[in-house]
């Protein structure tokens, strides 16, 4: 458990830290690969396969979204560009949804289920509001929708901070569990 | 996947599909240049040709240059303008975003030694070159204004009338006749007033007479940087004059105007 969450933390650091010089010198794809590998190695849940697939797809998208390549995408016909935007947004949403699915498999029967739910609602919920209200704002340019996008954006940033804290706490909790298991093992032997 | 999450995805999909259909219906194939009225070039002053154009929302198209007769002019970059982050920077020319469209405005600085070449090409079509490779011809009328003799004096700047019109009051400094009033904003409902009474053109004026020009709200002149009302006429001596009046109201075209304008331009 602790190893899984520590890998997720490292992977997430790659995803959120951006140093752009035409290309991202801390590429997001490495983060997605670390997360995918962590799922394959340490997680056991029905969400594994899909989460790994979504993680790799997200990695590919992160390459396309580097400014140097993205300028080519921008010049695609509007229909293609709109579809691309929609698909990438939905993949991001699914990625976090499935990641939390895996998190739940770790915290089942522990006191951390409600905490996991709260972080999930904040991250997935605010990401959903951002994506959905952006489409509405695009056609209406209504100030209230613009405001909703900003508020949801702030909530998403808070959600990501909570996500980091959550992973850190779970890593520590995992270590504690492992330690107590070892102690128990020693005692019984 | 939980039912609630599937519902959330379905809502996003419906909103995305609806907005995409609307966006595609509203999409314009090429930038649309807003019609330009007479542009004034001032002797012994810096002069600019101001051009505005509409693109689809978030479409990164820049007006690279214009060809007027033999002269090629490139947009004037303000000396104080600098940018730290070129990646997130909005285009320099963007002045207002509307639903579906963006309004851009670009100015071209003209040197006095280019006036003769430009006025020779005036009343003919000029060509605009956009960054996406689109080339468009547009009518351009230029007039050189001299500062020899002032016909009018703008003492009170623009204000709003009770009817919501924009009004500029001025004093006639030399007797003469006002024959024509035009603006850089075509189709503007522009009227000459004296003490709340509308005057018809040509209108004979006396020295010291106070007059005003009113523009209806939907067609306000929305770029304050230019002498954007031009008054044509003759002095009492028979000598012709052309005077520019600056409107200091910075107002952008309303949403409805922009939508109607694009729809009309698309149908043409």
Between B52 and A24, residue with greater pLDDT: B52
Establish if A93 touches chain B: CB-CB under 8 angstroms: yes
Across the interface, do A82 and B20 touch by the CB < 8 Å criterion?
A: yes
* Contact (Cβ atoms closer than 8 angstroms) between residue B107 and residue B49: yes
Whole-angstrom distance between the N-terminal and C-terminal Cα of chain B?
Answer: 51
Calculate how close chain B gets to A22, using CA atoms only, in Å. 9
Which residues of chain B have a CB within 8 Å of the CB of A136? Answer: 15, 19
pLDDT at A81: 82
Hey, which of B10-14, B70-74, B117-121 has the most confident mean pLDDT?
Answer: B10-14
Establish if B98 touches chain A: CB-CB under 8 angstroms: yes
CA–CA dist A34, A13 (Å, integer) = 11
B4, B6, B8, best to mutate vs chain A, most A CBs in 10 Å: B8
> Across all residues in chain A, what is the average pLDDT?
86
pLDDT at B13: 94
pLDDT at B247: 63
pLDDT at B163: 67
Confidence of residue A98 (pLDDT cuts 50, 70, 90): very high
Which three-class secondary structure string do you get for B185-229? CCCCCEEEEECCEEECCCEEECCCCEEEEEECHHHCCCCCCCCCE
Would the pLDDT of B66 be above 70? yes
Calculate how close chain B gets to A132, using CA atoms only, in Å. 5
CA–CA dist B77, B46 (Å, integer) = 14
Which residues of chain B have a CB within 8 Å of the CB of A131? Answer: 12
Q: How many CB pairs under 8 A join A and B?
A: 51
* Contact (Cβ atoms closer than 8 angstroms) between residue B186 and residue B233: no
Across the interface, do A128 and B8 touch by the CB < 8 Å criterion?
A: yes
Mode of pairing for the β-strands spanning B135-145 and B124-130: antiparallel
Of the listed ranges A107-111, A166-170, B13-17, the one predicted with least confidence:
A107-111
Confidence of residue B90 (pLDDT cuts 50, 70, 90): very low
CA–CA dist B155, B96 (Å, integer) = 31
Concatenate the DSSP letters of all residues of A57-111 into one string: HHHHHHHHTSHHHHHHHHTS-HHHHHHHHHHHHHHHHHHHHHHHHHHHHHHTTST
pLDDT at B89: 41
pLDDT digits (tens, 9 = 90+) for B184-214: 665 567 888 888 888 888 999 888 888 888 8
Between A126 and B93, residue with greater pLDDT: A126
- The pair of structure tokens assigned to B208 is 């010291």
pLDDT at A127: 94
Establish if B22 touches chain A: CB-CB under 8 angstroms: yes
- Closest partner residue to A78 (CB to CB) among B1, B24, B60 is B24
Establish if B8 touches chain A: CB-CB under 8 angstroms: yes
Of the listed ranges A83-87, A147-151, B228-232, the one predicted with least confidence:
B228-232
pLDDT digits (tens, 9 = 90+) for B243-265: 877 665 556 777 877 888 888 88
Whole-angstrom distance between the N-terminal and C-terminal Cα of chain A?
Answer: 24
pLDDT digits (tens, 9 = 90+) for A12-30: 988 888 776 666 677 888 9
Q: Which residues contact A122 (CB under 8 A, 6 or more apart)?
A: A155, A158, A159, A162
Nearest chain B residue to A68 by CA distance is B87
pLDDT at B82: 46
Would the pLDDT of A189 be above 80? no
Q: What ipTM was estimated for this complex?
A: 0.86
Establish if A138 touches chain B: CB-CB under 8 angstroms: yes
CA–CA dist A89, A149 (Å, integer) = 14
- Looking at residues A90-94, what average pLDDT do you find? 94
Coil, strand, or helix at residue B210?
Answer: strand
HSE-up of B263 (CA within 13 Å, CB side)?
7
pLDDT digits (tens, 9 = 90+) for A131-145: 999 888 877 778 888
Across the interface, do B16 and A135 touch by the CB < 8 Å criterion?
A: yes
């Amino acid at each position: 458990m602790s190893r899984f969450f520590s890998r997720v933390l490292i992977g997430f650091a790659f995803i959120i830290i951006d140093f752009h010089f035409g290309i991202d010198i801390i590429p997001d794809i490495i983060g997605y690969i670390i997360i995918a590998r962590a799922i394959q190695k340490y997680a056991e849940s029905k969400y594994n396969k899909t989460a790994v697939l979504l993680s790799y797809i997200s990695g590919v998208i992160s390459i396309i979204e580097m400014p140097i390549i993205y300028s080519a995408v921008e010049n695609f016909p509007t229909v293609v560009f709109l579809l691309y935007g929609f698909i990438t947004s939905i993949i991001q949403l699914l990625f976090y949804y499935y990641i939390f699915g895996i998190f739940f498999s770790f915290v089942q029967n522990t006191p951390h289920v409600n905490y996991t739910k709260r972080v999930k609602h904040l991250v997935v919920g605010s990401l959903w509001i951002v994506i959905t209200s952006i489409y509405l704002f695009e056609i209406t340019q209504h100030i209230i929708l613009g405001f909703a996008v900003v508020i949801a954006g702030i909530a998403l940033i808070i959600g990501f901070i909570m996500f980091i804290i959550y992973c850190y706490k779970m890593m520590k909790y995992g270590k504690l569990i492992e330690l107590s298991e070892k102690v128990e093992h020693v005692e019984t032997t | 996947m939980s039912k609630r999450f599937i519902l959330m995805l379905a809502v996003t999909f419906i909103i995305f599909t609806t907005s995409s259909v609307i966006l595609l219906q509203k999409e314009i194939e090429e930038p649309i240049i807003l019609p330009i009225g007479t542009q004034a070039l001032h002797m012994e002053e810096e002069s600019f040709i101001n051009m505005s154009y509409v693109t689809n929302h978030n479409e990164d198209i820049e007006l690279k240059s214009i060809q007027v007769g033999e002269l090629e002019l490139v947009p004037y970059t303000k000396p104080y303008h600098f940018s730290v982050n070129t990646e997130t920077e909005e285009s320099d020319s963007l002045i207002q975003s509307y639903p579906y469209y963006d309004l851009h405005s670009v100015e071209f600085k003209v040197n006095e030694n280019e006036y003769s070449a430009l006025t020779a090409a005036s009343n003919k079509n000029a060509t605009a070159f956009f960054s996406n490779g689109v080339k468009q011809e547009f009518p351009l009328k230029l007039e050189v204004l001299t500062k020899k003799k002032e016909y009018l004096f703008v003492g009170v700047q623009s204000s709003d009338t009770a009817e919501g019109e924009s009004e500029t009051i001025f004093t006639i400094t030399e007797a003469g006749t006002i024959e024509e009033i035009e603006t850089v904003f075509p189709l503007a409902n522009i009227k000459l007033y004296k003490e709340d009474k509308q005057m018809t053109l040509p209108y004979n004026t006396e020295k010291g007479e106070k007059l005003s020009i009113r523009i209806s709200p939907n067609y306000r002149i929305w770029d304050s940087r230019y002498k954007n009302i031009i008054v044509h006429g003759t002095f009492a001596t028979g000598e012709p004059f052309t005077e520019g009046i600056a409107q200091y109201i910075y107002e952008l075209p309303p949403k409805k105007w922009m939508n109607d304008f694009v729809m009309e331009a698309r149908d043409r």
